[in-house]
């Protein structure tokens, strides 16, 4: 499974990238706003940090303007994936951009039918939003499973990018089902290393070691 980090915080991206924990990055208008930086400037820096796809989102609502914005964003770096919403105009933009060789991430997916349309439009990635489905008492993981089944049935190469990840369980469940990629905030990725029994065991080891009075160095 590939790990994308969902942030525009370049310091956090660098830290995870140095550990080999970053296969790509996803951003959106909210994350750009949180960074407080110019979208073109911060996106260019992110593209220089990571070798994998960096999703940069259009903000237009009609296909023609999405295509124009997407082409502009794609000029930032060769690893840009243009992010478009899963609307009819977004699908038109996806088809146009992917036909010209651009990577496209179709976002805000909430049904398997939407995911099927995105694959047929040539999407590189489809981003089902797990957490937001859970928020309204729908099963986000069932959506991942349904998309996986449909794509495998027909040999679609669009990668399932599980998004709106809120917990470590979301990541492990998505991996078990067969999502190709997850995108999560840095804090959630780091939380994968934590477990109460690990902490408890380390505490005991340290206490016992102290009793020996020894030093390694």
What sign does the dihedral 55-47-78-171 (CA atoms) show? negative
Span 105-133, pLDDT tens digits: 999 999 999 999 999 999 999 999 999 99
* pLDDT classification of 22: cutoffs 50, 70, 90: very high
Catalytic residue among 2, 34, 44, 83: 83
- Annotated catalytic residue 190: no
* pLDDT of res. 142: 96
What sign does the dihedral 130-134-138-141 (CA atoms) show? positive
* pLDDT classification of 27: cutoffs 50, 70, 90: very high
Query: What mean pLDDT is reported for the chain?
Result: 96
* pLDDT of res. 120: 98
Span 182-200, pLDDT tens digits: 999 999 999 999 999 999 9
* pTM of this structure: 0.94
Domains of the chain by start residue, with CATH: 2-212 (3.20.20.70)
Q: In the chain, where does DSSP find H-type helix?
A: 10-18, 29-35, 39-49, 63-74, 88-99, 112-120, 130-135, 140-154, 168-177, 186-191, 196-212
Half-sphere exposure of 69 (CA within 13 A, CB side): 20
* pLDDT of res. 115: 98
DSSP string over 158-213: -EEEEBS--SHHHHHHHHHHT-SEEEE-HHHHHHTT--HHHHHHHHHHHHHHHHHT
Q: Phi and psi of 178, rounded to 5°? A: 115, 25
Span 84-113, pLDDT tens digits: 999 999 999 999 999 999 999 999 999 999
* pLDDT classification of 166: cutoffs 50, 70, 90: very high
* pLDDT of res. 110: 98
Span 5-19, pLDDT tens digits: 999 999 999 999 999
Contacts of 85-92 with C-beta under 8 Å, sequence gap 24+, read 86/110, 86/114, 86/117, 86/118, 87/61, 89/61, 89/62, 89/63, 90/63, 90/66, 91/117, 91/118, 91/121, 92/63, 92/66, 92/67, 92/121
Query: What is the separation of C-alpha 129 from the centre of its chain, rounded to a whole number of angstroms?
Result: 10
């Amino acid at each position: 499974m590939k790990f994308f980090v969902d942030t525009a915080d370049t310091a956090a991206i660098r830290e995870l990238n140095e550990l080999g924990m970053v296969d790509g990055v996803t951003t959106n208008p909210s994350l750009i706003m949180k960074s407080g930086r110019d979208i073109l400037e911060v996106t260019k820096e992110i593209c220089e940090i990571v070798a994998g796809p960096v999703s940069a989102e259009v903000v237009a609502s009609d296909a023609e303007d999405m295509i124009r914005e997407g082409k502009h964003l794609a000029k930032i770096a060769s690893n840009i994936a243009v992010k478009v919403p899963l609307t009819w105009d977004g699908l038109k933009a996806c088809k146009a951009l992917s036909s010209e060789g651009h990577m496209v991430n179709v976002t805000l997916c909430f049904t398997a039918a939407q995911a099927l349309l995105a694959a047929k439009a040539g999407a590189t990635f489809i981003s089902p939003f797990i957490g937001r489905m859970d928020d309204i008492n729908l099963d986000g993981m069932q959506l991942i499973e349904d998309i996986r089944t449909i794509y495998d049935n027909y040999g679609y190469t669009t990668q399932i990018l599980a998004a709106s990840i809120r917990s470590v369980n979301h990541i492990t469940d998505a991996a078990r089902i067969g999502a190709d990629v997850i995108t999560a905030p840095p804090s959630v990725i780091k939380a994968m290393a934590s477990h109460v029994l690990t902490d408890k065991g380390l505490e005991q080891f340290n206490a016992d070691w102290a009793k020996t009075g020894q030093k390694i160095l």
